[in-house]
Structure 1
């Protein structure tokens, strides 16, 4: 019988991710491409089971988007997210050797500034906002210590989501 890893393995890990920051509006009628910027996140990963993990995280997203389309006042539609992230999520992973797909969901807070100006929405908020993190990814390698993921942080109060397309590495804290 061969052992199968899923998250990574059972145990405790530190995961560091960096990548392209993204921001996009909930309003799909505005012709706006997803904006770009910077994304980084650090996670403490605790996996009591190979297929289940609890992940407190801290991160940052700095991203903006601008559309060539204009409103009735000739203002351009645009988005901005400059935020620090803090929260906890859970991970469910498929126990597949070398390539373990996973999904993460949780709850957290964002501290920063947000601006959403589209056809349907106009919000500008600074300070502390609640967000819902949602990630899809792959844990790669024999020990699943390399990750590729899309991480989204849904900010309902400003009608935008931000996040990143990221590459990450996991480091075990115990043998």
Structure 2
């Protein structure tokens, strides 16, 4: 299953990079403040960490883009909830991310709002501990990326947004408040 998923993503990326319907191509690099939390919790917890991601952006039209991505997120618990009260509950992740998503955006110069959705896989270690959940897992799991934010600047090359990866098999989500920059690629 793992090899099939990686092979399928590689073939799709290779074929799409030469497609005639792609208007523009760019690389988007993002860095941000990571967070993870269980789906359900008695305490309001939010374990914190670091997020880094790179995307190969293929613009199909002024309002839609395809985006294969790779990245990483690492979060850890400090033993406190959001109100600085001690808690045993946690949702920790140390994982590499890969997959594909599409972005729909309003093609407005200077401030363009967007929303993204896709499918991907995480490879790493995960721990979710609440009063009703006790999951420790290593390896490959699937995730569902969801993001929203703004593209800023004259050419919309600064990205400011929130990105989330819902991980149903470990009953947690990870996410980030991230800032990115897009670097246009020249056509051949």
TM over 0.5: yes
* The one of 126, 143, 168 aligned to 2:180: 168
Q: Distance in 2 between matches of 1:87 and 1:164?
A: 17
Q: Distance in 2 between matches of 1:97 and 1:83?
A: 35
Matches within 5 A, 1:25-44: 25-27=38-40, 29-44=41-56
**1:120 CA drift (Å):** 2.4
* The one of 110, 118, 121 aligned to 1:98: 110
> Does the CA contact (< 8 Å) of 2:106 and 2:112 recur in 1?
yes
| Cross-structure match for 1:24 | 37
**1:69 CA drift (Å):** 5.3
Matches within 5 A, 1:48-127: 48-65=60-77, 66-67=79-80, 68=85, 76-127=88-139
**1:34 CA drift (Å):** 1.3
Is 1:47 the counterpart of 2:59 in the alignment? yes
> Does the CA contact (< 8 Å) of 1:69 and 1:77 recur in 2?
no
Note the residue ranges of structure 2 that are not aligned, 5 or more in a row.
1-22
* The one of 135, 138, 142 aligned to 1:130: 142
**1:39 CA drift (Å):** 0.2
Matches within 5 A, 1:133-152: 133-152=145-164
Q: Distance in 2 between matches of 1:103 and 1:165?
A: 14
**1:80 CA drift (Å):** 0.6
**1:148 CA drift (Å):** 0.5
| Cross-structure match for 1:5 | none
> Does the CA contact (< 8 Å) of 1:31 and 1:69 recur in 2?
no
**1:163 CA drift (Å):** 2.0
Q: Distance in 2 between matches of 1:139 and 1:148?
A: 6
Q: Which structure has greater helix proportion?
A: 2
Q: Distance in 2 between matches of 1:33 and 1:21?
A: 13
| Cross-structure match for 2:26 | 13
Considering Cα pairs closer than 8 Å and 6+ residues apart, tell me whether 1 or 2 has the greater RCO: 1
1:137-174: CA deviation from partner (whole Å, max 9, x where unpaired): 11000000000011100000011001211000000002
Aligned-residue CA RMSD (Å): 1.3
